[in-house]
Chain A
Amino acid sequence: MHGILTLQMKELGGVVRLAWATIRTAPRRPIEFRLWADQLYELGVQSTTITNVTLLFTGMVLSIQTAYSLAAYGGAAFVGDILALSVVRELGPVLTALMVAGRVGAGVTAEIGSMAVTEQIDALRALAADPVRKLVVPRVGALVLVLPILTILADTVALFGGLLMSVMEIGQSRAYYMSHVMSALSLSDIASGVGKTVFFGFFIGIIACYNGITATGGADGVGRATTNTVVVSSLSVIISDFFLTKLFLLF
């Protein structure tokens, strides 16, 4: 037990050190525009389908469930309000981050992990290049930039899914649903929901890169590191969501 605890503290220390090195290295010039562009495309653009499909169906099912469960209390009229708040404040950011943690986190760890076990990261260092600048900064930076954008898109798609069901299943008019959505939402709801994802992106990126860089032992080790990334980064999203929500409620 003591051994496991020591190991986990050591890993936590490693993650914090990598996070600090990333923050320190990120503003340094020259900025690697090509590497950033590749990652923005690979981690951002390529994730839009999976996050949008997830939130489309979440919006649709949430709309039906809300109307069904609140029908007895005459609450079906408030589907737009409930949907807007729950999607924009919670479900949109968290579900988008979880999907990205699965897709992108696993991919990043597998890629960097394969580089680590085939000595490519040592080769980078031997060529007097900094692996943090070359590998970690573009990936973490891309995630921090794209996760808020993916979330805004996914929120919109979820509200559209809700609209479809409100019109087709519940029999509301489009204008009625939209007016409830718009009146329920305030700027602070959007800021709190989207603001959290900047942190989610950073956590997912750092955890994925750390597990990749420290992968050892060939394909088996890369597999374990990848699983570890999905588990730890998903948990970090769920747990940090609680604390970030508390924090944002203070303002």
Chain B
Amino acid sequence: MSESFIRFVDIHKSFGDKQVLRGVDLDIGRGETVVVLGGSGSGKSVLLRHTIGLHRPDQGQVWVDDEEITELSEEELVEPRKKVGMLFQAGALFDSMTVLDNVAFALREHTDWPEEQVRERVAEVLGLVELEDVEELMPADLSGGMRKRVAMARAIALAPRGILYDEPTTGLDPITATTINKLIRSLQERLGVTSIVVTHDIHSAFTVGDRLAFLDEGTIVYKGTIEEAKQATDPKLRRFLRGGGYG
């Protein structure tokens, strides 16, 4: 068993004429949280989506838990996808379903649990994201922050060993954003999961990350721990951090 839970090797990806990723190498160790920081259009969400085969690289390899998933079919991706949950930018809750049905979705799909056990697990994961008695509400009835938390609960329902966060604090007010950051931290501590957090929110990056990778124009121009990043001299990262009021 290697030390990396997720590994990107020389990932290239283009959409039409636009080259988004130009050779990304990144290792995410078991149990650690790596923040991928970068401006809008830097390709960080595209990189994240490669982790569970939502995008396929034009060149390069993606490894999850010592298994190469680059060429796997949608059917073969079922197992890797059960190991890694994903929180989408706007939550991506199924808006025709209640909170209960959203959170229970993967449990009903991939386990033979009786309904009672499913409901218990739903209440448990909703508790982990500090929500209760919301099972019967529809996504349209929830605030932006609540929707993100329900989406987090849905992502962790199957007890995945990795969680991917796509811009978890974007579009939230500062107080709700802080709550979400704390939740990400507490999920790491309580569940011991490996996480990748893609964000352009520097405060969030410094709060939740163990290590930081800075993506610029499709390549990683800086990698280091959060403390190292704060002192880094790389001009592009410095300019980004200064723009966010750091350094």
Interface residues of A (CB under 8 A from B): 115, 118-120, 122-130
Contact = CB atoms under 8 A, between A and B. Distances in A.
A119 B105 contact: no
B74 A130 contact: yes
Nearest to A111: B96
Contacts of A120: 92-95
Contacts of B109: 127-129
A169 B90 CA distance: 62
B143 to A, nearest CB: 17
Contact of B88 (A122, A128, A129): A122
B81 interface: yes
Contact of A123 (B53, B77, B88): B88
The 9 A-B pairs at the shortest CB distance, nearest first, are namely A128-B81, A123-B92, A119-B92, A126-B86, A128-B78, A127-B106, A119-B88, A120-B92, A128-B82
Contact of B81 (A115, A118, A119, A127): A127
A118 B86 contact: no
Interface in B87-119: 88-90, 92-95, 105-106, 109-110
Contact of B90 (A115, A118, A127): A118
Which one of A115, A119, A123, A130 has the highest number of Cβ atoms from chain B below 10 Å of its Cβ? Answer: A123
B54 interface: yes
A128 B110 contact: yes
A251 B194 CA distance: 64
Contacts of B52: 125-126
B54 A122 contact: yes
Contacts of B89: 119
Given A119-B89, A120-B94, A127 B74 contact: no
Contact of A128 (B77, B95, B154): B77
A128 B157 CA distance: 13
B95 A125 contact: no
A123 B92 CA distance: 6
Given A119-B89, A120-B92, A120-B94, A126 B81 contact: yes
A129 B81 CA distance: 9
B88 A125 contact: no
Nearest to A119: B92
Contacts of B110: 128
Contacts of B78: 128
User: Which residue, A119, A123, A127, A130, has most C-beta atoms of chain B within 10 A?
Assistant: A127
Contacts of B86: 123, 126
Contacts of B77: 125, 128
A129 B229 CA distance: 38
Nearest to A123: B92
